[in-house]
Structure 1
Amino acid sequence: MIQAYIGLGSNLENPIAQLDRAIETLKKHDSLYAFRVSSIYGSKPVGPQDQPDYINAVASFKTKLPPIALLDLLQSIEQKQRRIRERHWGPRTLDLDLLLYGSEEIQHPRLTVPHPYMLERGFVMCPLNDLAPDRLLANGKTVAEQLHQLDTNDLVFIKEV
């Protein structure tokens, strides 16, 4: 079994409901075990600012799925929820990103793990800190240490899941 962490985000079509529905779908999947989810946070968008604020969370679970099969599962959930993604770093109904897959480093045309931008994003590191503050990252720091170095002034606690 591999411990995996995924980021969840939305800023269109009732974002909290989008995350809640994705979380329920993931919880019920028969290949994901010991499912946990962080609190939900709000933040300003990365990239174009002419879009609504985002809500984000991180989920963790154990799985036997290989990384590409897990990516396929995440993308199928996005599609079932009729994912809208208008432009790069633009608004979206649902975004599910594989952040960490055990301690593996993956370079594949469809997938890079650890997620290439996670270390610089408070909206990822803060909810990840809810679940695994002592987890050692590829840069040699713990999640808590990395979070401490980030500006998280725009993060707003939304709710516990």
Structure 2
Amino acid sequence: MNRRLAQGFTPTPVGVPVVVALGANLGDLHATLQAAVDELRALPLTDQVRVAEPITSVAIKPEGPDAAAPQYLNTVATLTTRLAPSVLLRALHEIENRHGRVRTERWGDRTLDLDIIAYGEVRSDDPALTLPHPRAAERSFVLDPWLTLDPDAELPGRGRVDALREGLAR
């Protein structure tokens, strides 16, 4: 090893592994998700962005699945970042806003939805950012794409993603 590197070299922090769910059910779904992924890749202090193939799913409303609403196109991205969770969330909201996201109805139809599913092992009950995402373990449209990227994935505090998915199938 180079002596200069061995003496006094501090490697740059690698970043925290993060899982982000992406979904849309209004507008040009494929183009919107692709643009959002491009914007994730352009975030500062963020790299190793991998994205699962999108899947379709029925819209979920507070009262349950709504087959009458436009279907969603969903995917999951894994990445590493050195952005703080709150900074990453703000960046995701800015991406949503650039794609016409309007927040008028809880779980309403939307041009783009970006959710932090897991931020390393961080756990937070803050209403502004609950980590891991409180409903991720109940969402096949999150678990299925995530498993294609990482068959050994774990949702902090909930367990292996494959076991969570199997529990939904029952």
Identical columns (%): 36
Structure 1 segments of 4+ aligned residues over 3 angstroms from their partners? none
Contact residue 56 and residue 72 of structure 2 kept, 8 A: yes
Highest RCO, 1 vs 2 (Cα 8 Å, sep ≥ 6): 1
Aligned pairs, number: 152
| Higher-Rg member (1/2) | 2
**Structure 1 residue runs without a partner (length 5+):** 153-161
The answer to whether the aligner puts 1:76 opposite 2:94 as a matched pair is yes
Please tell me the root mean square deviation across aligned C-alpha atoms, in Å.
1.6
Give, in angstroms, the shift of residue 137 of structure 1: 2.5
Partner of 1:158: none
Contact residue 118 and residue 156 of structure 2 kept, 8 A: no
C-alpha distance after superposition, 1:41-87 (max 9, x if no partner): 00111126231010100001111111000000000101111213441
**Structure 2 residue runs without a partner (length 5+):** 1-14
Normalization by structure 1: what TM-score? 0.88
The aligned runs of 1:1-161 (5 Å cut-off) are: 1-47=15-61, 49=66, 50-151=68-169
Give the Cα–Cα distance (whole angstroms) in 2 for the partners of residues 23 and 138 of structure 1.
24
One-letter amino acid of the counterpart of residue 147, structure 1:
R
Give the Cα–Cα distance (whole angstroms) in 2 for the partners of residues 120 and 93 of structure 1.
22
Normalization by structure 2: what TM-score? 0.83
